Amino acid sequence: MAMYNPPHPGEFIKEVYLEPLNVTPRSVALQLKVSPSTFSRLIKGQSAISPGMALRLSKCLGRSPESWLHMQDSYDLWQAKQNIDLSEVEPLLIPA
């Protein structure tokens, strides 16, 4: 089921994990074994969750790697639908 304007995964991490647990982005970055700047870009919505990051998030925060990637895909697809004009794209006609 498509979600209306899904949050960027970084926003989700910030709201569900960082703020309620009162942990700093730097401390989570250290747990993830990534640089603080890498994790900071993620939670600011400036970078996407890669398969490698999905594995790290799964181990550190929980949820499956697939759920992290699905969250990123949902966000990316919704953004694309808002910004890509398909009015001139035609279906491929396959001869019978």
Query: Is the Cβ–Cβ distance between 28 and 34 less than 8 Å?
Result: no
84/4 Cα distance (integer angstroms):
17
Contact between 67 and 12 under an 8 Å Cβ cutoff? The reply is no
User: pLDDT of 24-51, one tens digit each?
Assistant: 999 999 999 999 999 999 999 999 999 9
Q: Residue 36 maps to which CATH number?
A: 1.10.260.40
The DSSP secondary-structure symbol of 87 reads T
Which residue numbers in the chain have pLDDT < 70? 1-3
Give residue 1's pLDDT.
Answer: 54
The pair of structure tokens assigned to 41 is 């870009």
Other residues' Cβ atoms within 10 Å of the Cβ of residue 24: 10
Q: Are 76 and 51 in contact (CB under 8 A)?
A: no
What is the residue type of 95?
Answer: P
Number of domains in the chain: 1
Domain coverage including residue 69: 9-74
